[in-house]
């Protein structure tokens, strides 16, 4: 008996497809796919959620001061003349940041080795590039998804059968986070 399903693809194609499906499941909360793919994605997603749940509170808060450039109303940096050179004006700002413990850093790297980078696009799709933002999926896993499942021992996903697909009659399902 095989340990995993090959899904009719080469190894690199299969890994890329499953990583993409797992990333979309964790970002959106639900996806629609075939039953065999959903069963494979469930294994990956539940493993990632378990890693995030174990390390969700394993950090320390640290206060730092950072130099932040002053900006005008248009968002451009303010410059001033100093010794014949144009120099950017900076403000000192106090910030509190999370410092990962070594085990949480290892968990973050494990998550990022599976998850693809995600860019969120605004709904109206106008000025797509300027308004799009990169989403830190590891931070989303630790801050949003892991606290939801902190008191749950596995079973983070649900598979709902939809019926056969119109084109090839493959059994379609919706896999979602519980």
Please write the tens of the pLDDT for every residue from 118-155: 998 887 766 677 778 899 999 999 999 999 999 999 99
Q: Quick check: 119 and 89 in contact, CB under 8 A?
A: no
The residue-averaged pLDDT of 152-165 equals: 95
- Rounded to whole angstroms, the Cα distance separating 138 from 174 reads 24
Distances (CA, A) of 101 to 22, 52, 75: 26, 13, 35
41-62: b (≥16 Cβ within 10 Å) or e? bbebbbebbbbbbebbeeeeee
Q: Which domains does the chain have, with CATH numbers?
A: 11-58+101-177 (3.90.1030.10), 59-100 (no CATH)
Residue whose token pair is 């640290």: 62
Q: Say which residues have a Cβ less than 8 Å from residue 3's Cβ, sequence separation at least 6.
A: none
pTM of the model: 0.84
Residue 3: pLDDT band (50, 70, 90) is confident
> Tens digits of per-residue pLDDT, 75-118?
889 999 988 899 999 999 999 999 999 999 999 999 999 999 99
Return phi, psi of residue 50, to 5°.
-60, -45
CA 40 from chain centre, in angstroms, equals: 19
């Amino acid at each position: 008996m095989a340990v995993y399903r090959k899904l009719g693809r080469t190894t690199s194609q299969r890994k890329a497809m499953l990583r993409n499906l797992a990333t979309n499941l964790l970002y959106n909360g639900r996806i629609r796919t075939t039953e065999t793919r959903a069963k494979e994605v469930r294994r990956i997603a539940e493993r990632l959620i378990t890693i995030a749940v174990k390390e969700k509170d394993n950090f320390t808060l640290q206060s730092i001061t950072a130099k932040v450039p002053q900006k005008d109303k248009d968002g451009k940096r303010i410059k001033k003349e100093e010794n014949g050179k144009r120099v950017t004006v900076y403000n000192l700002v106090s910030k509190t940041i999370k410092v990962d413990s070594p085990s949480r850093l290892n968990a973050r790297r494990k998550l990022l080795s599976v998850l693809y980078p995600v860019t969120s696009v605004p709904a109206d799709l106008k000025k797509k590039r300027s308004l799009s933002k990169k989403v830190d999926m590891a931070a989303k896993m630790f801050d949003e998804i892991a606290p939801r499942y902190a008191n749950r021992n596995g079973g983070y996903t649900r598979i709902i059968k939809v019926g056969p697909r119109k084109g090839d009659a493959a059994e379609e399902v919706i896999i979602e986070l519980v």
